[in-house]
Amino acid sequence: MTTLQTILTGIDWTANIQTSLGSGTTVADIDRAAYRIAVWSMQLEQADSGNPALCFVREMQHSIQHSGALIGLCLYKPSAASSRTFVESCIYYTYFRTHPEELATLVSDAKYHVGKAEIIEYHKLHTSEFKARQEAIGLVGRLDSWYSRTSAVVHGQVPGTWNTHSELAQTSYSKDVQKLALATFLEGAVIVDDLLLCTVATRLWKGFAPEAKTLLTKGMPAAKRQALSLDTK
């Protein structure tokens, strides 16, 4: 009988990484996106220090790193799951950072749940400038579309599209599937960036370091920066 250990040790993971991350600008794109999230994470840890909801920020950072690593290993469907996790973690942070009682209930009561749609509706009603900011950059539409497509992958609703082999032992690089996984990863990172700009940045941006503000707004069109009321000092 072939064991899991035999299968896993038989896969040439080094070749997968070299081929997967050696194609085009893949490494640079993943590094750039993950670094932006790392900058966000550090600034939120400082500007929102002591907030118990920062656990979601840490999960967000871990998950974007895992997603990038899984792309490198050619584990494409798991990378989609990790991409969804880093976006969901961001969504939860934007809500629970101002709802400590609900966060405590989330920890203590397995039946309690608040979904993405409920949180977005909350922001529309209660988060200052969210509606105008998100409309200016089309955030909610992009988030809903991305989340629906990624969830379909995670839940197995598009079988075959993200797989090129029928056996674990055949795990290897696929140009076409990597393109899907990388696009999902990068679009998710942009959505996280924009979601934070439309929510927590309305209250915490002033507490960010000038260097971080400069990095997070670098290359941003002036119209978008103005719509989001972002200074760099």
Distance CA 67, CA 184 (A): 10
- Residue 173 in domain: yes
Distance CA 50, CA 206 (A): 17
Q: How many CB atoms lie within 10 A of CB 106?
A: 16
Portion of the chain with pLDDT greater than 90, in percent: 85
- Residue 4 in domain: no
- Residue 233 in domain: no
Mean pLDDT over all residues of the chain? 94
Distance CA 85, CA 141 (A): 19
Tens digits of residue pLDDT in 114-157? 999 999 999 999 998 999 999 999 999 999 999 999 999 999 88
Distance CA 190, CA 230 (A): 17
DSSP state letters, 169-201: GG----HHHHHHHHHHHHHHHHHHHHHHHHTTH
- Residue 168 in domain: yes
Range of the domain at 66: 11-227
- Residue 232 in domain: no
- Residue 6 in domain: no
- Residue 1 in domain: no
Is 29 a residue whose pLDDT tops 90? Answer: yes
- Residue 81 in domain: yes
Token couple for 117: 């749609």
Tens digits of residue pLDDT in 80-105? 999 999 999 999 999 999 999 999 99
Task: Tally the domains of the chain.
Answer: 1
